[in-house]
Amino acid sequence: MTTHTDSSTIDDTGNDLKGAIGAQMEAAFDDVQALYRRLHQYPELPFQEHETSARLAEALETLGYAVTRGVGGTGVVAVLKNGDGPTVMLRGDMDALPIKEDTGLDYASTRTAETEGGTVPLMHACGHDLHSSCVVGAAAVMAGLKERWSGTLMLICQPAEEIFGGARAMLDDGLYDRFGRPDVILGQHNMPALAGSVGHRAGGTMAACTNLAVTIHGAGGHGSMPAQTVDPVVIAAHVVTRLQTIVSREVPPEETVVVTVGKLAAGTQANIIPHSAELEINIRSFDNALHRQVVASIERIIRAECEAGRSPKPPAFRVLNETIALHNHPASVERVRRAHAAQFGEESLYAMPRLNGSEDFPFFGNAEAGGFGGEDIPYVYWFIGATPAERWAETPGEGVAQKMRHLEMPHSPYYFPGNALTMRTGIEAMAAGALAYLA
Ligand code: ZN
């Protein structure tokens, strides 16, 4: 049995809940690790997680859960009803990335996929294989501890997180109408922090993100006769520089907002004025209302620049993908953090710094953005450390925020969060989090 501290924690009923979770985790561990390695070796792109979801569904069914496949595409929902009480939803994600794995693992992926852009390599470089394996591990722990809790456990393996599509797809497929509406939603992500540690943060934790494609229309012609044309290159150039004034002049200085024009494409050669120009813009912020304001400012500026430049028709806007800011519910964070302190010891917990990365997890809790109506549902999203102790010790800097800058991050071909301690911690963190509501 693995314990993270020497002291045992006795719950209100005098039972050693920490030890019981640890024993169940240990009993399930080899199977979960074997599942993880299979998932890792066979990564799949967003909404194509056919093998992945089949393996997960089968594992959850074997554990006695009522499993439904194909929710929101390839999503899996597994429910265990165990008497009266609240409904807790645990979420893992399943999709991988078009990256060539270079971890040197003997179960590293060598898979590829065919896409519109050609053949791409595939890798679980964000550890979603770990997240969904931990959901299965927590499912085993909770099934083994059925006598110790009552309520409903709802587990989901979500497709397509990387393109911010899977959470919405599951909600649009009637997730809460069909399987019940949870009272709290719990999720986790691995990160470069000390393996065995767990990070929490109340309030704004991850950024809202919009990726916007824009077409600026001109009227093409000969480069020697600009007066007979409308030059979209000049309009686009003004747009790019003027967009910089949003963050510097329209956003309060205490707020963090990023506006990046990551793509600017027009024309074919020097003596041809092109017909149109294409931009792709990445917007990030931590406040959903401010985020909408920034996107509106971008549209206003581009429309006005097009008018100023005599554009023959209004610009076209297309949202490529989008997610809202992740705001952890403070009281729920505190409840889960206490359960994790009992499981792992206070010394294994850290205060999570805010991340500029984004997640589609918050759609599950946001009634308006998630489109499910009624009240928002409180959620807690925490972070499990994935860096082995030796590597952590030799990394320069103090604390998570400083050391993170020197470590491989998710989406790197070298990133590997699936060590045994991280997996054990991820399984126990989910089970302890659920039991904070159900035990
Ligand atoms: Zn991820």
Residue 412 has a pLDDT of 95
Residue 163 Cα to ligand 1 middle (Å): 10
What is the spatial distance between Cα 185 and Cα 19, in angstroms, rounded to a whole number? Answer: 24
Q: Render the burial of 190-229: b for 16+ CB within 10 Å, e for the rest.
A: bbbbbbbbbbbbbebbbbbbbbbebbbbbbbbeeeeeeeb
Ligand 1 midpoint to CA 207 (Å): 13
Question: 390: CA distance to ligand 1 center in Å?
Answer: 24
Task: Mention every residue, 6+ apart, whose C-beta is less than 8 A from residue 389.
Answer: 194, 195, 196
What is the amino acid identity at position 369?
Answer: A
What confidence score (pLDDT) does residue 6 get? 42
Residue 243: the pLDDT is 98
Sign of CA dihedral 318, 50, 433, 345: negative
What does the H/E/C string look like for 265-298? EECCCCCEECCEEEEEEEEEECCHHHHHHHHHHH
Q: How far apart are CA 12 and CA 125, in angstroms?
A: 41
pLDDT in tens, 5-46: 444 455 555 469 999 999 999 999 999 999 999 999 999 999
301, two tokens: 């500026």
Query: Which of 3.40.630.10, 1.10.645.10, 3.40.605.10, 3.10.150.10 would CATH assign to domain 17-207+325-438?
Result: 3.40.630.10
Task: Report the catalytic residues.
Answer: 93, 162
Nearest-angstrom CA–CA distance, 33 and 38: 9
| pLDDT at site 3 | 43
Sign of CA dihedral 345, 348, 353, 355: negative
Task: Tell me if 17-207+325-438 shares its fold with 208-323.
Answer: no
Q: Which residues of 92-104 are buried (b: 16+ CB within 10 A; e: fewer)?
A: bbbbbbbbebebe
- Give the model's pLDDT for residue 15: 65
Ligand 1 centroid distance, CA of 52 (Å): 16
Q: How confident is the model at residue 32, as a pLDDT?
A: 98
Class of the domain covering 208-323: alpha beta
Q: Which residues pair with 97 in a beta bridge?
A: 123
Domain boundaries, the chain: 17-207+325-438, 208-323
Low-confidence residues of the chain: pLDDT under 50: 1-8, 14
